[in-house]
Structure 1
Amino acid sequence: MDHLACLTPADLQANPAPDLSAFRWRLLAQGDSWFSFTAAQMNAHANLLEELVFRDKALAVNCAGQSNALSHMVDLESAPEFVRLLSADDAPVWDGILLSVGGNDLVKAAQTPAHLPDGEPVALHLRLLRRQTEWGPPSAGVARYFSEPGWATYADYLSANLRHLLSLRDQGRSAGKPVFMHSYAVPMPRPAGAEDASGPWLYPALKAYAIPAADWAAVSRLMVYHLAQLLKRLAADQQLYPGLHVFDSTAVPLALAAPGSSGNSGDWFNEIHLNHSGCFKIARAWSEHIEGVLNGNTGGKKKA
């Protein structure tokens, strides 16, 4: 098994240019902080791409590599290298596209406050959590805290952005090639921010909404499972989302971080980022999924 080799878009402009034909699988990658190769990210925690392994030599040109990680799906519009390498007439032909997107959007939606700075309430369809006066009955479990109207807004946003991304793929030379996404593992809301002073992310949001601490883990699970089910549902609709393949990271057993911990714990470096052991576990399983699809797309035959 060989680790995925990673290049940046700038590496493609080197003289001499790298020989992409030396690899059986040539992939284009874009994503959030789970993919980012910025120095700050690499010094802080692990990278999922680093842990991908394949039976045959595989290469990824990672557009999240030396730039800021995506904070929103719509940031694809401000990722010119990725858009060019995905859709330009002179771009390489990719065997597949690797995506790590949607997680930052989910966190941002969960962080939406109940009120604006001027005290004006934020409409329920624009946030994922409910104020105490809006909680459902205890019989609903942790779903009583969750805004289904807000989830519908988020789901519509993510779905539309993915359709747009697939249309960009089909404008270029890699039309119809598989797009591989992962869902996200379930984080433990806790006071564990990043070394750059960002975060924690879910912990202050759940506190602000006065959700009981005993329910934090279950609320986190509810939101992440909603995202996983949404992505799998989109991938099942091959008419609207042709070539989309989703790996369910929630099915990979991970060691949860200890509640209340403020640093590296279990398979987590901080509240929402995996450490090396966490990345290893998810990447090994995702690698098998990716390679299985790639081999299926070529009938299991070596490319000439």
Structure 2
Amino acid sequence: MDHLACYTPADLTGRTPPDLGAFRWRLLAQGDSWFSNARAKLNAHANLLQELVFKANTVAVNCAGTGNALSHMVDLESSPDFVRLLAGADAPAWDGILLSVGGNDLIAAARTPAQNWNGEPIPLELRLLRRQTEWGPPSAGVARYFSEPGWATYAEYLRANVKHLLSLRDQGPSAGKPVFMHCYAVPMPRPAGAEGGDDLGASGPWLYPALKAYGVPSADWAAVSRLMVFHLAQLLKAMAADKEAFPGLFIFDSTAVPLALAAPGSTGISGDWHNEIHLNHSGCFKIARAWSEHIEMVLEGKHLIPIPTGRKGRGSSSSS
């Protein structure tokens, strides 16, 4: 097994560019801080790409690069290297695209306050958490704190952005090639921020102050975090199962990988976590090794093709 060889777009135009043709599989990558190879981020926590391993020699050109990684899906519009390498006139033909996106958007939605700067209430459809006066009955469990209208807004936003990305893929020489996305691990809301800022423009913590501001009881914080991350995982897997709307999309369910949880209330490295929302090297190792196997099986055409219920005679590639 060999580690994924990673280059940046700048490497392709350098004095000694890598020979992409020497690799069995050639991948294009873009994403958030889970993919960023900025030195400050690598010193602070891990890069998921660095832990990917393959039986066949595999290369990725990582557009998350050394600058700020994506804060939101719409940032793809301002990522000229990625768009050029995916759909430009001289774009290479890639065997697949690796994406780490959607997590920062979920965090941002959870951080949306109940009121705007001048005290006016923000509608439920524009936030993921409910004010105490809006909580449902205790019988609803932690779902009583969760804004389903806000989730519907987020889900439509994510679906539209992924469809746009797939359309970009199909405008270039990599049309129809697999797009690989991962789900996110479930963070423990806690007062553990990042060193030197993060992709959301703040040093964190992220979920911890939001849950406090909404008055969610601390005993329910972990379950609320799990609810949101599992909602995202189910959304992504449903998208991958819809091969008409999202052709060639493959989702790896990171929530199924056993990780060591961070201790509630801890302020630094704990379990498989470097801070509240970023994995450390052991956490990345666990997820990346499982994701590598999933990616290579798809590239080799060995993924399962189950028949979805309710759709007679139509196959769908596995999203797990």
**Pairwise TM-score range, normalised by the shorter structure:** over 0.9
Corresponding residue for residue 149 of structure 2: 149
Whole-Å Cα distance in 2 between the matches of residues 19 and 205 of structure 1? 47
Whole-Å Cα distance in 2 between the matches of residues 217 and 13 of structure 1? 46
Corresponding residue for residue 165 of structure 1: 165
Corresponding residue for residue 2 of structure 1: 2
Corresponding residue for residue 240 of structure 1: 245
Counterparts of residues 243-262 of structure 1 (less than 5 Å): 243-262=248-267
Whole-Å Cα distance in 1 between the matches of residues 207 and 86 of structure 2? 33
TM norm structure 1: 0.97
Q: 1:15 deviation in Å? A: 2.6
Counterparts of residues 168-187 of structure 1 (less than 5 Å): 168-187=168-187
Matched, 1:96 2:90: no
Counterparts of residues 188-227 of structure 1 (less than 5 Å): 188-197=188-197, 198-227=203-232
Corresponding residue for residue 269 of structure 2: 264
Whole-Å Cα distance in 2 between the matches of residues 235 and 265 of structure 1? 33
Whole-Å Cα distance in 2 between the matches of residues 297 and 287 of structure 1? 13
Matched, 1:117 2:117: yes
Corresponding residue for residue 287 of structure 1: 292
Corresponding residue for residue 302 of structure 1: none
TM norm structure 2: 0.92
Output the amino acid matched with 2:150.
G
Whole-Å Cα distance in 2 between the matches of residues 67 and 81 of structure 1? 12
Q: 1:297 deviation in Å? A: 7.4
Whole-Å Cα distance in 1 between the matches of residues 16 and 55 of structure 2? 27
RMSD: 1.0
Whole-Å Cα distance in 1 between the matches of residues 19 and 167 of structure 2? 28
Q: 1:67 deviation in Å? A: 2.2
Matched, 1:51 2:29: no
Counterparts of residues 7-26 of structure 1 (less than 5 Å): 7-26=7-26
Q: 1:14 deviation in Å? A: 1.6
Q: 1:65 deviation in Å? A: 1.6
Corresponding residue for residue 301 of structure 1: none
Q: 1:17 deviation in Å? A: 2.5
Whole-Å Cα distance in 2 between the matches of residues 237 and 99 of structure 1? 18
More displaced 10-residue stretch of structure 1: 17-26 or 260-269: 17-26
Output the amino acid matched with 2:212.
K
Number of residues of Structure 1 aligned to a counterpart in Structure 2: 298
Output the amino acid matched with 2:87.
S
Whole-Å Cα distance in 2 between the matches of residues 99 and 297 of structure 1? 21
Output the amino acid matched with 1:35.
F
Whole-Å Cα distance in 2 between the matches of residues 8 and 87 of structure 1? 17
Whole-Å Cα distance in 2 between the matches of residues 218 and 16 of structure 1? 50
Q: Deviations over 1:47-94 (max 9, x none)?
A: 100000000100000000222110000000000000000001211110
Whole-Å Cα distance in 1 between the matches of residues 92 and 176 of structure 2? 14
Give the SS at the match of 1:165.
helix
Over 4 Å off, 4+ runs: none
- Percent sequence identity is 79
Give the SS at the match of 1:109.
helix
Whole-Å Cα distance in 1 between the matches of residues 49 and 179 of structure 2? 15
Structure 1 residues 297 and 175, CA, compared in 2 at 3 Å: closer, same or farther?
farther
Output the amino acid matched with 1:12.
L
Q: 1:18 deviation in Å? A: 1.4
Give the SS at the match of 1:296.
coil
Q: 1:16 deviation in Å? A: 3.4
More displaced 10-residue stretch of structure 1: 40-49 or 10-19: 10-19
